[in-house]
């Protein structure tokens, strides 16, 4: 039994060696002789359509340009928002001033009435 086990291990080692050496003296596999024609056809097919769009989108330049546009839009919105807030404040102050001056006019009118 012990001998059989040892014998089998030797066989397995020899077999593994043979398999590992089975690539010795191998030659290169050759490509299809029409490979170039097929490649050109694929390049031409890729020249239009979605593949181009996908390639464009995946470019770092596209990502940078998108980021720049995003930042410009954000800055524009913030600036416009600030301007609007300033205008509203100015309008509010203006209307308060008008109300105050109207109140003063009313007071004056009442005074005139008492004097009469």
Partner 1 sequence: MGEQELVELLKSGDEAAFKYMVTSWQDMVYNTALGLVQNEMDAEDVAQDVFVKAWESIEGFKGESKLSTWLYRITVTKSLDFLRSKKRKKRFAYVQSLFGLNDELVVDPPDFVHPGVVSEKKQMSVALFKALNTLPEQQKAAFVLSRIEGLNHKEVSDVMGTTVPAVESLLQRAKLNLRKKLESSYRKDE
Binding site for partner 1 (CB under 8 A): 8, 11-13, 15-16, 18-32, 35-36, 38-39, 42-43, 46, 55
Nearer to partner 1, 64 or 73 (CB): 64
Nearer to partner 1, 20 or 111 (CB): 20
Distances, alpha carbon 59 to alpha carbons 50, 73, 77, in Å: 14, 22, 27
Contact 38, 32 (CB under 8 A): yes
Token digits of residue 21: 């050496």
Select from 53, 72, 52 the least CA-distant residue to 64. 72
Nearer to partner 1, 63 or 75 (CB): 63
Q: Output the smallest distance, CB 65 to partner 1, in A.
A: 19
């Amino acid at each position: 039994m012990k001998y059989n086990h040892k014998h089998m291990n030797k066989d397995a080692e020899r077999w593994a060696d043979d398999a590992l050496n089975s690539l010795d003296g191998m030659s290169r596999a050759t490509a299809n002789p029409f490979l170039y024609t097929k490649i050109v056809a694929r390049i031409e097919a890729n020249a239009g359509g979605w593949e181009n769009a996908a390639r464009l989108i995946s470019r770092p330049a596209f990502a940078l340009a998108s980021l720049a546009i995003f930042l410009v839009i954000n800055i524009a919105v913030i600036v416009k928002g600030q301007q609007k807030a300033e205008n509203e404040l100015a309008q509010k102050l203006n209307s308060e001033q008008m109300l105050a001056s109207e109140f003063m006019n009313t007071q004056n009118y009442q005074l005139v009435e008492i004097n009469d």
